[in-house]
Copies of this chain bind each other. A is one copy, B any other.
Amino acid sequence: MRGNDTVKNDIEQAAKAIRAGDRVALARAITLVESAKPHDQASAQALLERLLQHTGKSVRVGISGVPGAGKSTLIDQLGLNLVAQGHKVAVLAVDPTSSRTGGSILGDKTRMGRLAAEPSAFIRPSPAGDSLGGVTKSTRETIALAEAAGNDVVLVETVGVGQSETAVANMVDIFVVVAIPGAGDELQGIKRGLLELADIIAVNKADGDQVERANRAAMEYRTALHILAAGHPNWDPQVLTLSARDNQGLDALWAKIEERHQAFKASGALAVRRADQAAAWMREIFEQRLLADFKGGRRAARHFQDLEDKVRRGEMTPAAAAQELGRLAGTKEAD
């Protein structure tokens, strides 16, 4: 077992390298963060604590949308535009369905081939996921590492599985939903629950013979949102059209994102949002630990599912089941 000083030194070196913009050091740190091994986790946490004061200095943008909406093309082109303007861009992904042996890992770098070749861009595929919670944790920490490494824009792509959008919305400043053209009966509905997360709806593929359909879709979303957000001081979702393929409208998208971000910062709302996100995450980690410790007990784990099934079938009240779980956990009971 290596001495504490040696470990501390390693962390100091890693922190230094990351801050200096060493991409290999950054990639290594992210791998550490994604590792489930307790020893790796301890090193990862030490590194994150060392870098904490250097995090936070980016515009964090979540990008979601159905498969086929063209998210990858959009991120590729947007990333190129930003790099050309002098930004350092990190691109991450939350995809609990990804696996280590293919899928996202090769996919991302070929889907965003041009951006992947840029020195000022750092692309990291989604960690392999066995649970959304695990992927979410890794991604949050990767955002911090990417910021410490000097990236001033962090784009987090989500593939729209389960609660992925909500998870990503809870770790970014601005949330963009990418939609496809179509109107009336062909209008792509916005996934229930996604609507209230969106700051911007970007109707992509406004090119070729689709321009008209894209405009109509944008108009319908705009009408709907205007109606629903009427009179709300804090809800002002914007709708625009663009073509990632033709690099049309992406400057307007970024201008809107920056404008919002500036406004959030100026009003203090950004600081509050990020503080809320961090506090909620702390509580989440802790509650998960309490629950995991409990479920870790063999007897308890067996019974948890049994009890839940009884409750679902209406054979036991939820309170009685929870009480039984408490008894198994050895917690103090109310009476």
Give Cα A332 to B291, complex, Å: 11
Name 14 extra pairs, CB < 8 A, besides A286-B326, A290-B290, A293-B332.
Answer: A42-B335, A49-B316, A52-B314, A55-B314, A191-B232, A228-B228, A275-B313, A275-B314, A276-B312, A279-B318, A285-B318, A285-B319, A287-B287, A290-B291
Interface size class of A (residues with CB under 8 A): 35 or more
- Return the CB mask of A37-54 against B: 1 if under 8 Å, else 0: 011011001001100110
A45 in complex: contacting residue of B227, B279, B315, B323, CB < 8 Å: B323
Q: Quick check: B188 and A231 within 8 Å, CB to CB?
A: yes
Give Cα A229 to B195, complex, Å: 10
Residue A224 lies at the interface, judged by CB distance under 8 Å to chain B: yes
Give Cα A170 to B56, complex, Å: 36
Q: Is the interface of A mostly helix, strand, loop or mixed?
A: helix
Chain B residues with CB under 8 Å of A188's CB are 230-231
A308 in complex: contacting residue of B190, B225, B228, B279, CB < 8 Å: B279
Residue A245 lies at the interface, judged by CB distance under 8 Å to chain B: no
Give Cα A188 to B45, complex, Å: 47
A227 in complex: contacting residue of B137, B221, B230, B323, CB < 8 Å: B221
Q: Quick check: B52 and A187 within 8 Å, CB to CB?
A: no
Give Cα A325 to B55, complex, Å: 23
- Return the CB mask of A110-144 against B: 1 if under 8 Å, else 0: 00000000000000000000000000010001001
A228: min CB distance to chain B, Å:
5
Residues of chain A whose beta carbon lies under 8 Å from any beta carbon of chain B: 38-39, 41-42, 45, 48-49, 52-53, 55-56, 137, 141, 144, 185, 187-193, 195-196, 220-221, 223-225, 227-232, 234-235, 274-276, 278-279, 281-283, 285-287, 289-291, 293-294, 296, 307-308, 311-323, 325-326, 329, 331-332, 334-335
Give Cα A331 to B295, complex, Å: 12
Chain B residues with CB under 8 Å of A308's CB are 279, 282-283
Chain B residues with CB under 8 Å of A320's CB are 45, 48-49
Q: Quick check: B290 and A331 within 8 Å, CB to CB?
A: yes
Most chain B CB neighbours (cut-off 10 Å) among A56, A144, A224, A275: A224
Chain B residues with CB under 8 Å of A137's CB are 319
A86: min CB distance to chain B, Å:
26
Q: Quick check: B192 and A196 within 8 Å, CB to CB?
A: yes
Chain B residues with CB under 8 Å of A334's CB are 38, 41-42
Closest chain B residue to A294, Cβ basis = B290
Given A41-B334, A56-B314, A287-B287, CB of A282 within 8 Å of CB of B321:
yes
Chain B residues with CB under 8 Å of A190's CB are 228
Q: Quick check: A278 and B312 within 8 Å, CB to CB?
A: yes
Q: Quick check: B49 and A317 within 8 Å, CB to CB?
A: yes
Chain B residues with CB under 8 Å of A293's CB are 331-332
Give Cα A220 to B225, complex, Å: 11
Chain B residues with CB under 8 Å of A223's CB are 223-224, 227
A148: min CB distance to chain B, Å:
12
Chain B residues with CB under 8 Å of A332's CB are 293, 296
